[in-house]
Amino acid sequence: MSFSVSANMRSFPLSNLLGTKDSAPLQPKTAEEEFLEIAQKSPLERLRDKILEDMKMSEADVAGMTPEDRQVVEDEIKRRMMEALQASADTGKVVDKAA
């Protein structure tokens, strides 16, 4: 017997969450696994994750949006990434305020 749950017009079997007689339930990630997951991401991927976290969204939320809504979110992410990159480029510059 298989159950499924629909979320944002997508379905996935509950057995993925609960485990089946052939597999164990999902275990929480260890600190090492979490660290390795983060360490394997590029700086831009980590920045995108941080921006999504600030927006209280996940990649799954973005993926489930209509194309129009997704474009709005992607544009906001791009804007925030550009701001962050510009701010980091400006760090350490000497500015002549005498002019």
Which whole number is the average pLDDT over 82-91? 85
Share of residues in the chain with pLDDT > 70 (%): 67
Q: For the whole prediction, is pTM greater than 0.75?
A: no
- SS3 readout for 44-80: HHHHHHHHHHHCCCCHHHHHCCCHHHHHHHHHHHHHH
